[in-house]
Amino acid sequence: MASPPRHLLPLLLLLALLGTSSADPAVYDRPVIGIVTHPGDGAAGRIDNGTSTSYIGASYVKFVEAGGARVIPLIYNEPDERLLEKLSLVNGVLFTGGSVKRVPFPLFAQCLGFELVSMIVSKDNNILESFHASDQASTLQFPNYSSLQGSVFERFHPDLIQKLSTSCLVMQNHKYGISPKRMRENDALSSFFKILTTSPDENGEVYISTVEAQKYPITCTQWHPEKAIFEWGKPMIPHSEDAVQVTQNFANYFISQARKSPNRPPADKVLDNLIYNYSPTFSGKTSKSFELVYLFS
């Protein structure tokens, strides 16, 4: 916790498609998503204290499944060759955020979103500002409706967009963020991303809550779309039908992007690497963060 990275960027990065955006016009209906593991057990050591242990909250896996895809875990401390092999089997990557620095950088060097985040973390630690948005349900404000065109929000019913801006339908859990002003003042950031939504923290300070890359299929949220359907440990997590619809729209969008990936991984190799080769552990009694976790050690 002392060094910045651990909670520096609690972004949920949805990095659809490793680099390629257009290419094959044929839609692929068997998409596979890589999810990067996090150091630790997701329960502050109460389940597994091992120093090489890492985990994936099962809610992220179910989020991907809800969109019609399967998951291969990208275990952060595996040998690079294994990770590269697994990357060749996926159509998109879900990067669940948190400890950015410890994810092996070279694997994602092709991915501009991750390069950018890494650049921020490593070279411009001051880009992030403090916000009070730990365990807080919030609204999403839409500063520019034109920017929603072609984005994840395009598939939202206008009523739901309206409700998002007035009701607290999304779950936040972060201490840092970037204000619109800070992003506008940073050429690298503002030319790469467009702002889709902002949110107020507990003190009414406004931070960017959803961005999309201008030229790449990369969507980043500061909030946690997976929690509304799959996590129950904290009382402020919204579970209303509207909140669930937000999550479902988001999952469908993310996987629709992955369906455009030209990668057609061999079925047997996919089976060998699927997360179904592991059993999740019920953690809801030991930790409020996750109902179920996949552990890797």
User: Which residues are catalytic, by number?
Assistant: 111, 224
Residues 175-234 that bind ligand NAG (CB under 6 A): 194
Nearer to ligand NAG, 45 or 262 (CB): 45
- Minimum CB–partner distance for residue 290 and ligand NAG (Å): 15
- Taking residues 144 to 163 in sequence order and writing x for each that binds ligand NAG by CB under 6 A, - otherwise, the string is x-xx----------------
**Region binding ligand NAG by CB under 6 A among candidate stretches 8-16, 18-26, 46-54, 105-113:** 46-54
Closest CA to 287 of 52, 37, 59, 6: 59
Measured CA to CA, the distance from residue 74 to residue 83 in angstroms comes to: 6
| 45 forms part of the interface with ligand NAG (CB under 6 A) | yes
Residue 186: burial class (beta carbons within 10 Å; 0-12, 13-18, 19+): middle
- Which one of the spans 142-150, 174-182, 197-205, 261-269 is the region binding ligand NAG (CB under 6 A)? 142-150
Using alpha carbons, list the distances in angstroms from residue 187 to 166, 177, 182, 193.
31, 17, 10, 10
Which CB, 132 or 194, lies closer to ligand NAG?
194
Amino acid code (one letter) for 164: L
Least distance CB 146 / ligand NAG (angstroms): 4
Binding site for ligand NAG (CB under 6 A): 45-49, 144, 146-147, 194
